[in-house]
Amino acid sequence: MPSEISSAPAPPAAGGDRLLEVIGLSSQYGPVRAIHQIDLGVSAGELVAIVGGNGAGKTTLLHTLSGLQPASAGRISFDGQDITRWPPHRIVAAGICQVLEGRQVFAPLTVEDNLRLGGYRQRRDSAWLGQQQERVYTLFPILAERRRQLAGTLSGGQQQMLAIGRALLGRPRLLLLDEPSMGLAPLLVEEIFRVIVELNGRGVTILLVEQNARAALAIAGRGYILETGRIAKTAPAAELLADDDVRRAYLGY
């Protein structure tokens, strides 16, 4: 069942084959510069990892891509369109869906309501939403069992599954994942990463941000190393895993 989970067609991007093209992107909090002159690209079907330590600017980068944080310079184009100054709801509608750092499910609402809100921009396509919801429940059977339960009562791992499911209901053409392994036991991390690989295998384009460099680079095709707001290095993930500097700084051996 290829590309079923997304079922959003990813036509070839106009002007090159990059689905996402970022050029010279900077963003700051007041005078504090968080990311600086970022160049980055993601092609349709890829799984790309961005790794970096705490405070490197990973979350800021994703927030800038999804419109939650304004860019102070540079350009973001998605599917050939300049989306740099678009508001978040328009970016979601265009197909960039973000799984926020720390899950951030709507705790006082049920699992099902969280998923329905994930599909907010697709609300007129109830047939697709119904199918996609069933696919998410197939992907995460535990969510189906707990669909009437309040999201706040779920365990950390289940909340992460719900956060991913919620983003999938947004019909992503590009899925942004912000540290999905954060705070999870190793077994759960494995489970979440297995799902990420599976989603990518079904055609969902993924940009994965992680402090857990080893796990992220192990499943990614390409990777970027982010250091103090700048891209320090980019290469195929296998090369980064073998790189001495990367190993010393991020893999701890």
Binding site for ligand ADP (CB under 6 A): 29, 32, 34, 52, 54-60
The answer to whether residue 117 forms part of the interface with other proteins (CB under 8 A) is: yes
- Is residue 59 a contact residue for Mg ion (CB under 5 A)? yes
CA distances from 78 to 40, 92, 93, 109, 113 (A): 12, 11, 12, 32, 29
Between 7 and 228, CB nearer to ligand ADP: 228
Q: Where are the beta strands (DSSP E) in the chain?
A: 18-29, 32-43, 47-51, 73-78, 81-82, 96-99, 174-178, 205-210, 222-227, 230-236
User: Looking at 76-84, 87-95, 97-105, 221-229, which segment touches Mg ion (CB under 5 A)?
Assistant: 97-105
State which residue, 68 or 235, has the beta carbon closest to ligand ADP.
68
CB 85 within 8 A of CB 27: no
- Angstrom CA distances, 233 to 27, 220, 236, stand at 19, 15, 10
* 46/179 with CB nearer ligand ADP: 179
Per CB under 8 A, contacts with other proteins among 2-61 are none
Please tell me whether residue 120 binds other proteins under the rule CB under 8 A.
yes
What residues line the site for other proteins (CB under 8 A)?
66-68, 87-89, 92-93, 97-98, 100, 104-109, 113, 116-118, 120-121, 123, 150, 166-167, 170
